[in-house]
Structure 1
Amino acid sequence: MTAAPHRPPGAPTADGTEIEGRLDEAVRAVRAPDAVFALSQDGRRTVRCGGTAPPPPVPRDRLRYELGSASKPYTGLLLAELVRSGVVCGADPAVVHLGPGRPHPRRSAITLTHLITHTSGLPPLPRDFYRQGLPHWSTNPYAGYPAERVVRAFLRSRPAHRPGTRWRYSNFGASVLGHALAAATATPWEELLTERILEPLGLAATALAPAGRPDTDATGHRADGTTPVPPLLIGGFQAAGAVRATPHDLLSFLEAHLRPDGTPLDGALRTVQRPVLRRGLGHRHVHTLTWFRHPTDHGPMYFHAGATSGQQAFLGFRPDTATALAAVSTRRHTGRDAFVATAYGLLASLPPLDRE
């Protein structure tokens, strides 16, 4: 049995009508062809959809949306589960599973935990990525860079800093982790994540590749909000950004973090909520194995955002109010984009649901 969420004396609450109104405002604020804001409070779900484009062939909340970097919480949870079950150790050097490559002391010191916490010293992407990726940046920059090339780039890399000493966001590092876990278990990445994470949590509407059907995959758009872009092909960067899911499956994933008791992954779900890294002025920026963690008035908020060439996603949850939010949109991110700020602000400000 899980304890009820802490509600400070006199804390305001919200009713269902207020929640629907705020979600509708959020949908309008992002001004995307398709937008879905899906909220769970104490297990009660509220989903609001809209957009500037005509409705798709099926309801927007039944489509799968690309998560981009918001896929990393799935990868981190997989690492936590494999550590819990004794398959790997977070302190394992990645080269143990992938091969030593050219000798380099910094690379040899990179552990599996360094890779998922962005403290490996690796750059955001391999150095030779940009030559082939930039010409396709607005459509599919990753498609031409396969798994074996990611591993090869890692085995000849020279990390800029000693692992564990500096934080630098790295899709490269997260992708290397995926290949290391696949090698350690002798299991292809898609099969490994499906068997260890998706199936145990009942995430049947989550996938790791596009289905290629308009009644299954949401269609992304460029920043103009009208020009469609093709589905994301992630190449060898699966662990950094391959997940796509319906808003309801995203809520199921987040609800498992709020109520880990009784799930097959209860130990791993608790592990990924523990702080492992603090950085920035006053150590305000806290990271767990998979989530960014910021303070609110009454407790921590966990979140991660992601973007692809034509879609965006935000995942977050607050144990103090038993609240989870999954938001998706089908317009490319821009510098003035309101999507992440809208989703973050909504989750941070929502009070507990009024049950009386």
Structure 2
Amino acid sequence: MDGHMRGPNWLLTTTLLCCALTAGSEARTLDEQRLAALLEETRAEMKMPGLRAAVRLPDGRIVRAATGLADKEAGTPLDNDIAMPGGSTGKTFVAALTMLLVEDGTLSLDDPASKWLGDRPWYARLPNPADIRLRHLLSHSAGISDYPGTFRYNLHSVWRAIRRGGIRFTPEELIGFALNKKPLNAPGEGYRYTDVGYLVLGRLIESATGRTYYDLLTERILEPHGLQDIVLQDRSVLPVAPGYMMGARNLRDDGTMKIDPSSEWTGGGLALTPTDLVRFHAALAAGEIVRPESLEQMLEGGWHNPATPGEHYGFSLFVHDHGDAWSHGGLWPGYRTHVTHNTRAATTIAAQTNRDGRVDMGAVVTRIASALD
């Protein structure tokens, strides 16, 4: 949910970040004490319960620090190891898994989505059903609208909270909020960020393989790359730090989330740490997750806006500086996350907080990048 800032502020923040990371990149370093001090200053200024970050340096070392509280009511300090929902940062894992399926011939980027989903009763009610290709779902260029913030979604959420005591949707129910609507653009000819498109992609992956998304992700990416501590959001009770939705605690006394995290699925669907994120993105950059040519497609794919040369959304990567850097943000109610990688600086930075609202995590990462010697 909420992959990134989507207006002019996004471009300004990412431009500043790229400049901060590449300046003097041959000697980039940072120690835990300095990182912790910077995080504490930032946390207090931005009024966060807790804030933490991890930085992977050019020599491969990971520097990490955490400050503030994981649980305000219990007074529990935030640490580096407890998971938090990463929101849309999980979409990059979906894209990487998709590219692995392209590499082994299971899928093609030019596959019509109808090849795998045409028999689903809801598929023909999507916009552009005959023209959507796999690459369009990966790059948010299929012309599909989103569900967060729509009147129907908000109304249904309130009803479910009252009727069931919690909010939970199946992927098909969330896809339903985008059905019978006019296309936002012709496939491949525009960009509109949409969680619904990634839920459609998740169903396509499962149809093509006959496997569940989480089983494939665990087998193909998490276990082979030592990321098995990442928590799959496949249930309502997760081993995560409490989050604060507009200041209110998002966990009930029995540990269930007020908004069921299993609803997010391939729109994100992973609870993790900044350390997990920098390890994954550094491995992605090194050609260890997907082949270098697949990474190139992830960076080059998508609609390129002539108004922002060198800046576009690829396959679940916000691409900056003509591909020399990328980033992704994430929101789940009660949490915000941001990760960025700079190839020229050989540096990866991720940060998380356990509050939502108007918190610019891209700016937090930029501060960290600026502090590198």
Q: TM-score, normalised to structure 2's length? A: 0.77
Residue 119 (structure 1) aligned with residue 141 (structure 2): yes
C-alpha change, 1:275 and 1:163, in structure 2 (3 Å) is closer
Secondary structure of 1:283's counterpart equals coil
Q: Find the counterpart in structure 1 of residue 65 from structure 2.
A: 48
Say if 2:332 is the partner of 1:308: yes
| Aligned positions of 1:1-356 closer than 5 A | 13-16=28-31, 18-19=34-35, 21-42=37-58, 43-51=60-68, 53=72, 60-100=79-119, 101-102=123-124, 106-125=128-147, 129-133=153-157, 143-150=167-174, 158-209=182-233, 216-224=239-247, 227-229=249-251, 230-231=256-257, 232-235=259-262, 237-260=264-287, 263=288, 265-267=290-292, 268-274=294-300, 276-279=302-305, 281-295=307-321, 300-334=324-358, 337-347=359-369, 349=370, 351=372
Shift of 1:248: 2.2
What do the CA deviations read for 1:154-203 (whole angstroms, capped 9, x no partner)? 77665343211111110110111011111110111211221122122221
Partner deviation per Cα, 1:217-266 (whole Å, 9 max, x = no partner) = 11111222x53445352455411121111332222112212322xx3534
Q: CA RMSD in A?
A: 3.4
User: Counterpart of 2:279 in structure 1: which amino acid?
Assistant: S
- Say if 1:286 and 1:293, in contact at 8 Å, map to a contact too: yes
TM value normalised by structure 1: 0.81
* Alpha-carbon distance in structure 2 between the residues aligned to 1:96 and 1:154: 20
Partner of 2:6 in structure 1?
none
Contact (CA 8 Å) 1:24, 1:48: kept in 2 or not? no
Q: Is the 8 A contact 2:312 2:318 kept in 1?
A: yes
Contact in 1 for aligned 2:141/2:302 (Cα 8 Å): no
CA distance in 2, matches of 1:10, 1:309: 35
Distance 1:56 1:96 in 2: 53
For 1:86 and 1:93, locate their aligned partners in 2 and report how far apart those are by CA, in whole Å: 15
Contact 2:53-2:352 within 8 A present in 1 as well: yes
1:209 Cα shift?
1.8
* Count of residue correspondences: 336
Name the CA shift for 1:15/1:314 in 2 (closer, same or farther; >3 Å). closer
- Separation in 1, partners of 2:28, 2:183: 49
The answer on whether the counterparts of 2:145 and 2:178 sit within 8 Å (CA) in structure 1 is: no
User: Is the alpha carbon distance of 1:338 and 1:55 closer, same or farther for their aligned partners in structure 2, counting shifts above 3 Å?
Assistant: farther
Residues 277 and 201 of structure 1, relative CA distance in 2, 3 Å threshold: farther
1:350: Cα distance to partner?
5.2
CA contact (8 A) 1:31 1:51 kept: no
Q: How far apart in 1 are the matches of 2:42 and 2:285? A: 23
d(CA) in 2 for partners of 1:164, 1:315: 26
For 2:315 and 2:45, how far apart are their aligned partners in 1? 31
CA–CA distance in 2 between the matches of 1:254 and 1:96? 31
Distance in 1 of aligned mates of 2:335 and 2:25:
39
Q: Which amino acid aligns with 1:328?
A: Q
Q: Report the Cα distance in structure 2 between the residues aligned to 1:10 and 1:317, rounded to whole angstroms.
A: 13
Give the superposition deviation at 1:121: 0.7
Query: Does the Cα contact within 8 Å between 1:107 and 1:158 map onto a contact in 2?
Result: no
Amino acid at match of 1:222: M
Distance 1:211 1:320 in 2: 39
1:244, 1:89 → 2: CA distance?
29
* Secondary structure in 2 matching 1:303: strand
